[in-house]
Amino acid sequence: MGDFSLELNDDQIQLRDWIHGFAADVIRPAAAEWDEREETPWPVLQEAAKIGLYSMDFYAQAFFDPTGLSVPVAMEELFWGDAGIALSIVGTTLAAVGVLANGTEDQIGEWVPRMFGTVDDIKVAAFCSSEPDAGSDVSAMRTRARYDEATGEWVINGTKTWATNGGIADVHVVVAAVDPALGARGQASFIIPPGTSGLSQGQKFKKHGIRASHTAEVVLEDVRVPGRCLLGGKERLDERLARAREGSSAGERGKNAAMATFEASRPAVGAQAVGIARAAYEVALEYTKTRVQFGRPIIDNQGVAFTLADMRTRIDAARLLVWRASWMATTGKPFDAAEGSMSKLYAGETAKWVTANAIQLLGGNGFTREYPVERMHRDAAVYTIFEGTSEIQRLVIARTISGMPIR
């Protein structure tokens, strides 16, 4: 078990500096262009793959850091560069986490490498959970998976929405209901291999922020996948469903395949928000030190200086919550007070607040695309929405600390 420390070790410092250099030299110069184009930045992914940043090996090493800090450190630096491009680089990892959280060792070994492809043939993957009528309320999921005894295949029908890399992915991980009567406990995750008939891309969304990241609907019409594509296997699923029908407690991961994925990824998402907030704060700090009004830099005014002080304080507090949750998750400590949700909630709200105040401090310049803070603010907005809205995070926290079924 890794001991908790606020001091990064030499490997983590080297990792941070390496990724920061890539973010500064490759991601930032391309950020405005790909935000305007609203397309996946394949050339940047190619550059990330060339240096080993976009690869299964990199994320495996980061995820298995015994302190749990390599992932949030990496996420913060990437999203400090640009959130849209960074999300294109890390979007595949949500699908990979879905397999790691629910799959067998054989399934992990078979499918996770295929999600990234090779340096010469870049691939991406998509995790598909949300639906038009089932976002925060995952129990309302309408996508169905039926087992065909005659062929040993699963037949999947439904529509997914808000899927990062949806439709353009080589591998899709889809959450579907196998026993709708059980609600969230009757769901399972499935691998949809590349080229599977019946899967298609629906609407591609034109978004307010993170526009370099592809987000679309995924339509599944009589999609047939082999039995081995059920994550965890049918025997484990049957046992879990039997326990659910008997009314016994199966634990959170057993209850909900989608939540097992989000639970594992929340601190990393919080780290992304910290990166955006830090980037906006740094722009605002430098601007207020050089912007002269009434014969002096505007940072000389308490109203400006105190805002910057609050920015830095909130960013550091958010980072500490993220690091704590990451350490707890890695070392197997239970989130008895919903610490994972705390980290995502506070970091997301911080990013939104910091970027809004960065625009205010830059005045009219902050409202233009000549400065990056308006883009950062647009990007930050989604961090109080996706992978669990701030309201849902508060609900999770309140239920956890009270033990009451708060609605």
Residue 238 tokens, joined: 């049957």
Q: Residue 147, SS3?
A: strand
Q: With b meaning 16 or more CB within 10 Å and e meaning fewer, what string describes 232-258? A: beeeebeebbebbeeeeebeeebbbbb
Q: How far apart are CA 128 and CA 161, in angstroms?
A: 7
- Which residues, 6 or more positions from 359, have their beta carbon under 8 angstroms from its beta carbon? 366, 367, 373, 374, 377
Query: What digits encode the pLDDT tens for the residues 131-153?
Result: 998 877 777 899 999 999 999 99
Q: CATH number of the domain at 125-252, out of 3.30.200.20, 1.25.40.10, 3.90.25.10, 2.40.110.10? A: 2.40.110.10
Q: How far apart are CA 130 and CA 138, in angstroms?
A: 7
The owner of tokens 């080297």 is: 14
Q: What is the dihedral of CA 321, 324, 325, 330, to 10 degrees?
A: 160
Query: So what's the architecture of 10-116 in CATH?
Result: Orthogonal Bundle (1.10)
Per CATH, the number for 257-402 is: 1.20.140.10
Residue 138 DSSP symbol: G
Query: What digits encode the pLDDT tens for the residues 213-227?
Result: 999 999 999 999 999
Q: Which of 263, 370, 387, 391 is catalytic?
A: 387
Query: What digits encode the pLDDT tens for the residues 257-296?
Result: 555 556 668 999 999 999 999 999 999 999 999 999 999 9
Confidence (pLDDT) at 310: 98
Taking 50 as the threshold, does the pLDDT of residue 124 lie above it? yes
**Active site includes 38?**
no
Confidence (pLDDT) at 254: 43
Taking 90 as the threshold, does the pLDDT of residue 248 lie above it? no
Asked whether this chain's domains 125-252 and 257-402 adopt the same fold, the reply is no
Query: What digits encode the pLDDT tens for the residues 11-62?
Result: 999 999 999 999 999 999 999 999 999 999 999 999 999 999 999 999 989 9
Q: Give domain limits for the chain.
A: 10-116, 125-252, 257-402
Strand partners, 153: 148, 226
What is the pTM for the complete model shown? 0.93
Burial of 153 (0-12, 13-18, 19+ CB in 10 A): middle
Query: What digits encode the pLDDT tens for the residues 369-385?
Result: 999 999 999 999 999 99
